[in-house]
Amino acid sequence: MNKIVFLVPLFPLLGFLINGLGRKSLSKSAIGIIGSGVILLSFLTSCYLFSIVASAGEGQLQTVVTLFNFISVDAFTIPFAFQVDQLSVLFLLIITGIGFLIHLYSSAYMKEEETQHFGRYFAYLNLFVFSMLLLVMGANYVIMFIGWEGVGLCSYLLIGYWFKNNDFNYAAKKAFIMNRIGDLGFLLAVFWLLFKLGTVNYGDVFSQVASLSTFDIAAITTLLFIGAMGKSAQIPLYTWLPDAMAGPTPVSALIHAATMVTAGIYMIARSNILFTMAPTTQTLIAIIGLATAIFAATIALKQNDIKKVLAYSTVSQLGYMFLGLGVGSYTGAVFHVMTHAFFKALLFLGAGSVIHAMHHEQDIRKMGNLKKYMPITHITFLLACLAIAGIPPFSGFFSKDEILAAAFTKNPLYYYIGVGGALMTAFYMFRLYALTFLGKFRGTHDQEHHLHESPSAMTIPLIVLAVLSVFGGFIGIPEVFAENKNWLEHFLSPIFAESTKLVTTEHLSHSQEYMMMGIVTVLIAVVIFIAVSKFKKYAGEQEEVETGVGKLLENKWYIDELYNSIVVNPINAFAGFCKNFIEKSGIDGAVNGVGKLVSYSSRQLRLIQSGQVASYLLIMILSIVVFFIIWFNDITIMKFLNKLF
């Protein structure tokens, strides 16, 4: 295993270097082949690792592979080490597998770019996968942090890929800075661990966790969660993700499905023992997750940009994952990460296919009836919508059900709100579907004329992902359908073993669970029906002006404006105050003031030098008198005078 492990991140790194340095000399097809090929190699290696991990018996697995000592100082040593166990190998498969499909898709989608930029694009993409692999494979929090910041950087580079557009650049900058806010939390948690335990290696941290005080654990987990908020776009740090749509569509697929946003989930699942021992933080996570799920879903209801809808749906789905983590269903969260990766990648790539066909038109009000022109895209997109809405037996149903069931056992209120969010999900997804693929075409004639199905390099990934979206859920079938057939839970059980020991979960009775599933499914089906029948007829003529809540939703609750006015603008104003006032008049004023004081007092002192000899003499005589008084103390003088007179 030793040798193989570091090949996984090495391939994308090589791809990055080759594509980055050879972007001017290589041809487009060479770049595409190298870019996708390295990810494929990495995927194959991951498969091999997976087979090792899956076949290894309990306790046989040597999981940590150290390459070299990254930082070694007196107080602590941080090895550059990789950890390949059940959890990371699962993520490796998701990242490299879906990553490969996205690369493949990109090679067709980005064909119109200049060769040089095409190479740059693939270099960034490879670097992105490399960073994500570091994040997942790192055997300690510092290596994870390297990947953590690395994906932030790559998202910055990719969101701002079309760098001539300054709006995109702002979006890129926003993503990076919002991520940095989270990263600070993560970093502080790392320092806290170093301070208290002197180590950041997962194995050592988790085995020594009992020696930490409750406050320490709560603080560390909260800080880690702040990190996760930034990376996984939770309230209040979620606003970068919808703006990240500025990048090319496959990049959105990569960010939303395979990499980046799942980092927060991975990190918490990885540190599950810490979080299990901090119930306060868990409650916080559950509440934030749920709030995000609902909040983002409401915004998605009213968005008209195809990618924006998907973006908010990602935020919302991530909320569910955090809800799962918060209620202690780590397997459920990881499961949802996986199924979400399938259908969200599919949705984004499908959306990309639509945008490609529509010549970069993203407004769904100007689409319609695309099923006639793009059959494959249409079918796969529909399957993805069904999966995300949670219709059985599509993958999303199983994973969402697992999270919601766990939420119900923790607190029924979580469950009810969660179901409300799920209904909204169904509604906005099918609104999107109906507006895009059904009804009548509302674009220009020119666009209609050019409508076409995408090339096979784009449709093959769609088909593969559709198959995964449909059948992917079966690896985590709930107990209620088949006793002991939940392969995923069994597979991941060594990772969450310690946490499972700590918490006793009561299971719902089968009849209750059947009933809940049934009701929810029916409700979702009804919502889908309403959405489809309502928006099928949408003709787009009437420019309805939204009022009240609708307007609020359309403008995303004015959160961006709120942040601008309570955070960005005050900081800017304060910085301006520092620059123009404190620095110029204050400190520099004081410095120059000292200089001015010196020259002013010299000017005043100069006046004493009047040139009048008499005044000099007077001063001289007075000085002599004073000198005498000081030199001979008054007693001596009095004695002398007494003697004299």
Q: Which is nearer to other proteins, 74 or 541 (CB)?
A: 74
Q: Which is nearer to other proteins, 25 or 116 (CB)?
A: 116
Instruction: Identify the CA nearest to 257 among candidates 314, 313, 320, 329.
Output: 314
CB of 177 to other proteins, least distance (A): 5
CB of 575 to other proteins, least distance (A): 4
Q: Give, to the nearest 10 degrees, the angle between helix 262-270 and helix 487-502.
A: 50
CB of 576 to other proteins, least distance (A): 5
Q: Which is nearer to other proteins, 146 or 467 (CB)?
A: 146
Other Cβ atoms less than 10 A from the Cβ of 31: the count is 25
Interaction between residue 160 and other proteins (CB under 8 A): yes
How many CA within 13 A on the CB side of residue 261?
39
Interaction between residue 183 and other proteins (CB under 8 A): yes
Torsion over CA of 420, 426, 428 and 433, rounded to 10 degrees? 180
Could you say which of 412, 550, 576, 593 contacts other proteins (CB under 8 A)? 576
- Say if residues 297 and 316 touch (Cβ distance below 8 Å): yes
Interaction between residue 582 and other proteins (CB under 8 A): yes
Bridge-partner residues for 68, per DSSP?
80
* 245-253, 264-272, 383-391, 569-577 -> range binding other proteins (CB under 8 A): 569-577
Instruction: Identify the CA nearest to 431 among candidates 240, 543, 297, 542.
Output: 297
Q: How many residues bind other proteins (CB under 8 A)?
A: 62
Other Cβ atoms less than 10 A from the Cβ of 356: the count is 20
CB of 128 to other proteins, least distance (A): 14
Instruction: Identify the CA nearest to 240 among candidates 267, 223, 260.
Output: 260
d(CA 161, CA 55): 42
CB of 366 to other proteins, least distance (A): 27
- Say if residues 403 and 332 touch (Cβ distance below 8 Å): yes
Interaction between residue 184 and other proteins (CB under 8 A): yes
Chain positions 110 to 129 lying near other proteins, rule: CB under 8 A, are 116
Return phi, psi of residue 329, to 5°: -95, 75
Interaction between residue 583 and other proteins (CB under 8 A): yes
Torsion over CA of 229, 231, 233 and 237, rounded to 10 degrees? 60
Q: Which is nearer to other proteins, 525 or 625 (CB)?
A: 625
- Say if residues 310 and 256 touch (Cβ distance below 8 Å): yes
Could you say which of 543, 606, 630, 642 contacts other proteins (CB under 8 A)? 606
**For residue 643, what are the CA distances in angstroms to 625, 628, 629?**
19, 17, 17
DSSP state of 247: S
Interaction between residue 588 and other proteins (CB under 8 A): yes
- Say if residues 87 and 270 touch (Cβ distance below 8 Å): yes
Could you say which of 27, 51, 62, 72 contacts other proteins (CB under 8 A)? 72
Interaction between residue 145 and other proteins (CB under 8 A): yes
Could you say which of 146, 463, 530, 532 contacts other proteins (CB under 8 A)? 146
**For residue 246, what are the CA distances in angstroms to 166, 335, 517?**
10, 29, 38
The C-alpha angle with vertex 383 and arms to 454 and 446, in degrees rounded to 5, equals: 35
H helix or E strand, kind and range, residue 509: none
Q: Which is nearer to other proteins, 17 or 525 (CB)?
A: 17
* 144-152, 300-308, 428-436, 549-557 -> range binding other proteins (CB under 8 A): 144-152
Q: Which is nearer to other proteins, 70 or 557 (CB)?
A: 70
**For residue 464, what are the CA distances in angstroms to 250, 253, 337, 338, 391?**
15, 15, 18, 15, 20
Backbone Cα Rg of the chain:
33
* 34-42, 52-60, 65-73, 556-564 -> range binding other proteins (CB under 8 A): 65-73
Chain positions 187 to 246 lying near other proteins, rule: CB under 8 A, are 187-188, 190-192, 194-195
Could you say which of 17, 71, 502, 567 contacts other proteins (CB under 8 A)? 71
Q: Which is nearer to other proteins, 613 or 635 (CB)?
A: 613
Q: Which is nearer to other proteins, 218 or 524 (CB)?
A: 218
Rounded to a whole number, what is the largest CA-CA distance in the chain? Answer: 132
Interaction between residue 553 and other proteins (CB under 8 A): no
CB of 579 to other proteins, least distance (A): 4
- Say if residues 16 and 130 touch (Cβ distance below 8 Å): yes
* 98-106, 325-333, 485-493, 570-578 -> range binding other proteins (CB under 8 A): 570-578
Question: Which stretches of the chain bind other proteins, using CB under 8 A?
Answer: 68-76, 116, 142, 145-146, 149-150, 153, 156, 160, 163-164, 166, 169-170, 173, 176-177, 180-181, 183-184, 187-188, 190-192, 194-195, 571-572, 574-576, 578-579, 582-583, 587-588, 590-591, 595, 606, 609-614, 617-618, 621, 644
